Amino acid sequence: MPDASPRPEPFTPRTDPGALEDLRARLRGTRWPDAPEDAGWSFGTDLGYLRELIAYWADGFDWPAREAELARLPHFRVPVGGLGIHVVHARAVAPAGAPVLPLVLTHGWPDSFWRYAKVVPLLTDPGAHGADPADAFDVVVPDLPGFGYSERPTRAPLDSVAVAGLWAELMRVLGYERFGAAGGDLGSHVSRYLALDHPDRVVAVHRTDAGLPLPTTDPAQLTPEERAWTEAAAAWGATEGAYAAMQRTKPQTAAFGLTDSPAGLAAWIVEKLRAWSDCGGDVERSFTKDEILTNVTLYWLTGTIGSSMRMYRANAAVPPAQHARRVEVPSGFSIFRGDVVRPPRAWLERTANVVYATEPPRGGHFAPFEEPELYARELRAFFRPYRAAAARNVRR
């Protein structure tokens, strides 16, 4: 009988020229809102900046060139759990006999595999970038279901627990029985559940955040540092959390406008890139216009802003008991200086078996993209003791 097991199939992103013509027509026909005089970014996305960005998107941005750059990464589609999952799967360049650690990197919102595009070559071929060649990884970067080039769930959206189960199967299809996991934002949740539900397969887990405190957390059981953090998180939610409230409750309402208007989509995303990165208020200190628009154009061309937001609704229904579980797999945290709502060490140790914790001096919520060299160094340092345990189980 023929082998019916799922197999990765090479995938090359290709955009229909007609889709780009439609995009440019919509950009040029944008109907602009008014804004209070001198509002800047205080009411949300700055009108003047967005006009400048949209003008460049319509008449200066070269998507075919950006798409060709992304296509240099090794792309595949893998059938997992009834969905076609898009994955960048890049093999290590390592000295003969050196243990190679498989590593699955999971992105968050509002992005896709784009978050790790700069860091993939640093992790797969460290010797070419001034680091120890023995620290090479086999790197797996999937798009979450309903993000990027992965298929959307057609019924209920998947939560982070379910996606962790998909990733466990994805890694098995790719030939990895044991592996490391890393991520931030939604990717932090997925990586956490990989470690919780598959501790026999995940040798260690690295995260750039530890989630937000739960409303059910009893302040009396927390340290003073933790209580201060929960208060700061509540204050942040009051001023910055409207997007999350919408995405948790009525994501489909926002999806109509954001799927129809590229200017609206850019406004929704670029405000978060600015607010969450270590840019000091100037988004282009962390991202060039081309980099911003590559991320936004991926959302536009794949039509995935609605399906990406629905994951917030799915995660809002995860039972509190799941959030209360402690990760016993060896855990590392790199809490970058410019990230939002940075947890104290006491919270990390309350929720995970912490064997590594640092506070890198630069970078924010999108650290793998903002500071790829620094992020790569963090992963190399944390995972180094766990290489041999995973490498014995790699099918090459």
Query: Domain holding 145: CATH number?
Result: 3.40.50.1820
**Inside any domain, residue 21:** no
Considering 312, 339, 375, 386, which one is annotated as catalytic? 312
Q: Assess if residue 38 is contained within a domain.
A: no
Q: Does residue 371 belong to any structural domain of this protein?
A: yes
Structure confidence at residue 253 (pLDDT): 98
Mean pLDDT of the chain: 95
Question: In the chain, what percentage of residues exceed pLDDT 70?
Answer: 97
Give catalytic status of residue 135 as yes or no. no
Residue type, 348: L
Confidence of residue 284 (pLDDT cuts 50, 70, 90): very high
Average pLDDT over residues 6-18: 94
Question: What pLDDT was estimated at residue 213?
Answer: 74
The one-letter code for the residue type at 186 is L
Residue 312 a catalytic site member:
yes
Among 89, 189, 206, 365, the active-site one is 365
- pLDDT-wise least confident of 54-63, 84-93, 144-153, 383-392: 383-392
Domain count along the chain:
1
Q: How confident is the model at residue 391 (pLDDT cuts 50, 70, 90)?
A: low
Judge whether 356 counts as a catalytic residue: no
Specify if 31 maps to a domain. Answer: no
Look at residue 218 in the predicted model and tell me its pLDDT: 79
Percent of the chain residues past pLDDT 90, beyond the cut: 91
Q: Of 111, 159, 185, 278, which one is the catalytic site residue?
A: 185
Q: Where is average pLDDT lowest: 18-27, 149-158, 211-220, 234-243? A: 211-220
Quickly state the pLDDT bin for 2 (edges 50, 70, 90): very low
Is 25 part of any domain? no
Is residue 358 domain-resident? yes
Within-domain flag for 23: no
pLDDT at position 304 over 90: yes
Q: What is the pLDDT of residues 178-213, one digit of tens each?
A: 999 999 999 999 999 999 999 999 999 999 999 877
Asked whether residue 307 is domain-assigned, the answer is yes
Q: Which domain holds residue 73?
A: 44-391
Mean pLDDT value of segment 228-248? 94
